[in-house]
Structure 1
Amino acid sequence: MHFPFNLEKKGCEAVVPFAKINGTTMYYKVKGSGVPIVFIHPPMLTSSNFADQMEHLSARYQIIAFDIRGHGQSGQSAERLTYGLLAEDICGLLDHLELKKAYLCGYSTGGSVALEAMLRYPDRFYGAILISAMSELSDWYRRSEVWAAVGLMGLRAKRLVAAVIAWGNANKWKTFRRLYRTATEGQLRNVNDYFKCSLTYNCTEKLGQIQTPVLLLYGVKDKEFHRYAHILQSRLSDSELHFLPKVGHQLPTKSASLVNALIRRWIDERHPWKTADKSRQQVPSLPAFLPPDVPEVEETTEV
C-alpha cells in the first residue's frame, strides 16, 4: 500500500482519510474486511449519509465511502463533473486501495454513477446495489425538483438547499446536524454540476450490456420512482427488486436496518466464502417486499 499525505494514527490502526485520485484530493473512509462495497452519495450529501451502513455492515464486509469531488471534505474539481469522470474516480480509489474488484452501492443519483461505472469498467465490479436509483430522469416532478435546486444554487442559496436535503434524509435531529454540516462544506459549482448531470443522463438503452447482478431497493411510498424500478428490472439481465414498506426515497437513513439486512443476504448468496470470518452469524430469512400493486409503466428513454 502506498500511503498518501495526512497519515493519522488512532490506537494501533492507521487512518488515511485523503488520497490524490485522478487529479483531485479525495476524502474517503474504509472500515471492516471482507468483500469490498463502495458507497456513492447523491448531490449535496456526502459519505456521512452512509454512517449506518459503515457501522453495521463493516462487521462482514470492507465498507468504503467517499466524498465525491467538490463535496464534503474532498477537494474542489477544476473539471466539470460528469458521471464518466466520477466513474473514473471510483476506479482510481480502487487502485489506491489495491482492490481489483468491488461491489457498488449507489443511492439516488449515486445509482446513476454506479450504472455508468459498470458500463465503462465492467471488469472492476462484482455487481451493484441500487437504492432509489434511476437510469434516466424523465418524470416532470423529479426534474422540477432538480431544476429548483439548480436555481437556488445559482442564487447562492447553498445553505437552504443543504438544509432541505439534510432534513429530508434525517431520521433524527443528530442525523440532520451531521448531514447539514457536511453538506455545507461542498463547493457550489461542483455540487451544481452534479445536480445538472441527472437532467441529461440516460443509459436506459445500454442497460442490457450490464451482465453482473444488481439488487434494486425502493420505498413503497416513493411512487414517482416505481417507474424507474420497473425500467431497471425489465432491462437488466440479472436483477432482484424489493419495495420496502412504510418508507419513501431516503432508504439509507430511514430504513437502514432493512436495507442492511437485504444487502447482507444478497451479497452472502454470491460471496459466502469471502465475508469476514469474525461475523459469520446467520442472516435472518427475509420476505420479498413488493408493493400491493405495481402498475405497468410505459417505458420512456426521452429526457
Structure 2
Amino acid sequence: MPYMTIENDIRLYYTDAGEGKALVFIHPPGMGSNVFAQQQALTANFRVVTYDMRGNGKSSASNKPITISLLTEDLHQLLRSLQIERAIICSYSSGGSVAQAFALRYPEQTEAIVLIGGFPEVRTLWLYFEFLLGIFTAKIGAISLLAKVLGTAHGKSQDEKRAIERYARLANQKDLFSMYKTMLHDRNTEHLAKLTVPLLIIYGNRDYYLHAYETTFKTYVPHARAIYIDKARHQIPTRHADELNAILTSYFLP
C-alpha cells in the first residue's frame, strides 16, 4: 500500500491514480479517504489523490497535538512527495478548514479549492451541536458508535454502509478528539479576503443549515461560485457521487 513518511515516524496513507489535472481530496474527521471511493471514477479525466490525515484511517497516529497548521503542512509535504506542483484542492465538510488554510498559505500550489458542504467557521447552532457530538463520542471512546452513525448516514447500500463504518473505526481516539476540537474553533472568515484562487462551493439544496455560509463566502470572496445539488443533503460524495463528479468534470476539464 502507498505510504509517505514525514517527521521520521508519521506514515500517511494515500491513493494516486489517473492522469491530467490533479484533484486532491480532504476528508472530515473520522471518515478517512474511503468517503471518496466513488470519486475514483474521475481518474478517467484527472489525476485523483486521496489520503488519510494523521490519526485517521490507515495513517499513523499523530506524534503531536493536531492543529490546522500541522494538517496543512502534511498536505504540502504529500504534494511535494508526489511531485504535484499545482492541484485542485477538494474538501468535504469540515475538511474545508484544511483546504482554506492550504490555499491561503500555499496559493502557488493551489489551482482552485472546492468546498463540498464547506464553511469558514462554526457559527450555526446545528453545526455547533454536530461538533459537540463528535467531541463527546471521541472523548468517551465511542468510536464504534460514531462509525455506525457515519456509515448509516453516508452509505446508499448495506455494503457501502459497512465499508464506511469499518474505515471510520480505524480513527485514533485521541487524534479524533483533538481534530474535532481544533476544527470547531477554527476561524477563517477574517482571512477569506486574502483568498485569490478560484473558489467553488457545492451544497445540497436540502442542507439548509449551511446555506447561509454562501453569503459569507461571497462577501469576502466575490469571485466565489456556488452550485446546489437538487434533493441532496450533506452526504454529497457518497449519496450524490454522480452529480458531484459531473460538476467537477464540467468545471475543471478544458
Q: Which runs of 5+ in 2 are unaligned?
A: none
Kindly state the Cα deviation for residue 234 of structure 1 after the two structures are TM-superposed: 2.5
Q: RMSD between aligned alpha carbons?
A: 1.1
Is the Cα contact below 8 Å between 1:22 and 1:88 reproduced in 2? no
Q: 1:244 aligns to what?
A: 229
Q: 1:176 aligns to what?
A: 161
Q: 2:140 aligns to what?
A: 155
Query: Per the alignment, in what secondary structure is the counterpart of residue 91 of structure 2?
Result: strand
Find the aligned partners of 1:88 and 1:237 in 2 and give their Cα distance. Answer: 27
Find the aligned partners of 2:235 and 2:87 in 1 and give their Cα distance. Answer: 24
Query: Per the alignment, in what secondary structure is the counterpart of residue 74 of structure 1?
Result: coil
> Would you tell me which structure has more helix in proportion to its own residues?
2
Query: Per the alignment, in what secondary structure is the counterpart of residue 58 of structure 1?
Result: helix
1:189 counterpart = 2:174: yes
Is the Cα contact below 8 Å between 1:49 and 1:253 reproduced in 2? yes
Give CA-to-partner distance per residue, 1:130-150, whole Å, 9 cap, x none.
100010001111111211221
Correspondence 1:1-303 to 2 at 5 A? 17-23=2-8, 24-54=10-40, 56-268=41-253, 272=254
Q: Which runs of 5+ in 1 are unaligned?
A: 1-15, 273-303
Give CA-to-partner distance per residue, 1:83-122, whole Å, 9 cap, x none.
1111111110011111111110000011121001111111
Find the aligned partners of 1:101 and 1:250 in 2 and give their Cα distance. Answer: 27
Query: Per the alignment, in what secondary structure is the counterpart of residue 144 of structure 2?
Result: helix
Residue type of the partner of 2:112?
Answer: G
Residue type of the partner of 1:183?
Answer: A
Is the Cα contact below 8 Å between 2:68 and 2:183 reproduced in 1? no
Find the aligned partners of 2:155 and 2:210 in 1 and give their Cα distance. Answer: 20
Identity of aligned residues (%): 30
Query: Per the alignment, in what secondary structure is the counterpart of residue 58 of structure 2?
Result: coil
Find the aligned partners of 2:222 and 2:77 in 1 and give their Cα distance. Answer: 27
Find the aligned partners of 1:243 and 1:103 in 2 and give their Cα distance. Answer: 19
Aligned length: 253
Residue type of the partner of 1:28?
Answer: Y
Relative to the length of structure 1, the TM-score reads 0.81
The 4+ residue runs of structure 1 with deviation greater than 3 A are none
Give CA-to-partner distance per residue, 1:16-55, whole Å, 9 cap, x none.
511103451000001101001110000110101001111x
Is the Cα contact below 8 Å between 1:211 and 1:237 reproduced in 2? no
Find the aligned partners of 2:149 and 2:20 in 1 and give their Cα distance. Answer: 36
Residue type of the partner of 1:84?
Answer: S
Residue type of the partner of 1:117?
Answer: F
Q: Radius of gyration: which is bigger?
A: 1
